[in-house]
Amino acid sequence: MTTYKFSYYVIVSEPVNIAGNCILFSTRTSKELLVTPAVLLSLQANLIELIPEPILQKLIDYKFVVPESELELETIIQENKDATEKSSVLYEVIQPSAMCQLGCYYCGQKHTKDYVSNDIQEKIIERIRLKASLGKYKTLHIGWFGAEPLMGYSQMRTLTPRLKEIATEFGMKYSAKVVTNGLSLKDGVFEDLTKNLSVNEIEITLDGTAEYHDQHRYTKAGGKSFDLIFQNILNIVRKPDFEAYKCKLSIRCNVDKKNEAGVSPLIQQMAESGLKDKVAFYMIGVYAWGNDAHKASLTKEEFSERELEWSAEMLEYGFRGIKGKPSRTKEVCFTVSKTSEMYDAFGNIYDCSETSYVPAYDNSDYKLGNLSKDHKNVNLKRSILNEWNDTLLTDQFPCHSCKMLPVCGGGCPKSWHEDMRACPTAKFNIKDQVLLNYLQVRIQQNDSSKIQELIGLYPGKKWLQSLKNKFSDTLIEV
């Protein structure tokens, strides 16, 4: 007979009601379960046998309890390795240009007017075809990355039909993503990207409203960029048939001490402009990019507090898809893959997207080779980052003992190896994130009594009390 224990990878929320019921969140499965104080006490005392059978079965199914003999860390890492090994997606990143119109102060890249040559294009195609011929993939997914990928738009248009031919030749689906500053994302470009280049995801960067963004993300000549980018976004989402394009638009806001005050007004401007239900929005802290940009950032703890406040504002304005509970992450990034790579405009091959065009990494082992001589060698020695999952089994970094490991995958391997903490902000606000998710569900269900009860329980939570006015007509103080 199997004996069970309370999983190490469970977060217990604060009570959500007067009865003291709490939410269990399993970072192994990203599942949640509302439990009574009696069930929680049995779990914490490891008196699993006292839990009624129907409830126990749910706890087992969602991995809130696991076999007594299971070494959970080893299981998690093996699941991560299996997901990478068995992946049916061939993901390749291409940088068609080394040029960018912007001169963002925190960018560590050196931009030049260089583009993927015809010769390099041929070698990219040949290398990807070799990988596709392995026969294990069902999808070819291309990430167009920068510098600014739309500066190499003509190269993207030349390469895409040939990449699609590879997908067809080997019976794969084809899709693509573009990460762009948005300056060149005109209406016609958007239509071409989605209809002809099969781009189904576009991520654009806005670092606050114009007042803040233009001090962060200015042109090489020091000019402003916000108004042009924002208008491009509006032109796209206001197309009568926007939904028919089936392209996910997201806006990323890079935040540090210089522009943190610009996030709230950006949320308001997006809401008032009709973007709240058409564009996903998220915030991240500015990080080191071969430079000291991270020194101007908020601490992880500070950011986690502000993130809750911004999420509450988004909830009040009616944004959809607000960040709540994190999801299980088995592949932290393509650096853990044995096949996925990135190719820059000079034909250099990398297994980390944060290292190309950055002078600080010119002579590092992040550069795996060059297409001029290595385009047929699909077994290049990868950087130290590729051993990330094995590293997590050791005590080299604190991840091996962190309850958040299953949902963050350890964070950025490069940052840890550069002696910089790469913990997700959720590590510092996960209990509130669980409450936020609970609140979102109650709002969707229009369950005002449970919303009122939760808000009334925590008069000291600034982010939660900020929603008080939204429900003040019927709010009951607890």
What's the pLDDT band for 471 if we cut at 50, 70, 90?
A: low
The per-residue pLDDT for 8 is 98
Answer whether residue 156 is part of any domain.
Answer: yes
Answer whether residue 56 is part of any domain.
Answer: yes
pLDDT above 60: residue 473: no
Answer whether residue 325 is part of any domain.
Answer: no
pLDDT above 70: residue 476: no
Read off the CATH number of the domain in which 292 is found.
3.20.20.70
Final residue belonging to a domain, choices 70, 100, 122: 70
Residues 38 and 164 in one domain: no
Residues 195 and 142 in one domain: yes
Answer whether residue 6 is part of any domain.
Answer: yes
pLDDT above 90: residue 119: yes
Q: What percent of the chain has pLDDT over 90?
A: 88
Q: What is the CA radius of gyration of the chain?
A: 24
What's the pLDDT band for 477 if we cut at 50, 70, 90?
A: very low
Domain count, the chain: 2
Phi and psi of 283, rounded to 5°? -120, 145
3-state secondary structure of 179: strand
* CB contact set of 18 (below 8 Å; sequence gap of 6+): 453, 457, 478
Final residue belonging to a domain, choices 356, 374, 392: 374
Answer whether residue 113 is part of any domain.
Answer: yes
pTM beyond 0.85, yes or no: yes
The per-residue pLDDT for 89 is 97
The per-residue pLDDT for 478 is 36
173 DSSP assignment: E
285: left (phi over 0), alpha (psi -120 to 50) or beta: beta
Half-sphere exposure of 161 (CA within 13 A, CB side): 5
Residues 62 and 93 in one domain: no
Final residue belonging to a domain, choices 12, 39, 70: 70
Q: How far apart are CA 330 and CA 222, in angstroms?
A: 41
Question: Which tokens go with 378?
Answer: 């699909």
Q: How far apart are CA 423 and CA 94, in angstroms?
A: 28
For residue 93, the cross-strand partners are 143, 342
Q: How far apart are CA 305 and CA 13, in angstroms?
A: 17
The per-residue pLDDT for 364 is 87
Weakest-pLDDT range from 162-166, 333-337, 356-360, 361-365: 361-365
3-state secondary structure of 286: coil
Residues 14 and 66 in one domain: yes
3-state secondary structure of 183: coil
DSSP string covering 73-110: HHHHHHHHHHHHHT--EEEEEE--BS--SB--TT----
Q: Mean pLDDT across the stretch 214-225?
A: 96
Give per-residue pLDDT as tens, 146-170. Answer: 999 999 999 999 999 999 999 999 9
What's the pLDDT band for 209 if we cut at 50, 70, 90?
A: very high
Answer whether residue 25 is part of any domain.
Answer: yes
Give per-residue pLDDT as tens, 440-464. Answer: 888 888 888 899 899 999 999 999 9
**Cis amide prior to 288 (ω within 30 degrees):** no
Answer whether residue 109 is part of any domain.
Answer: yes
Residues 140 and 257 in one domain: yes
Domain that holds residue 19: 1-70
Residues 16 and 94 in one domain: no
- Angle, helices 426-444 vs 300-317, to 10°: value is 10
What's the pLDDT band for 135 if we cut at 50, 70, 90?
A: confident
Residues 57 and 152 in one domain: no
Give per-residue pLDDT as tens, 279-331. Answer: 999 999 999 888 888 888 999 999 999 999 999 999 989 887 677 679 999 99
Residues 47 and 103 in one domain: no
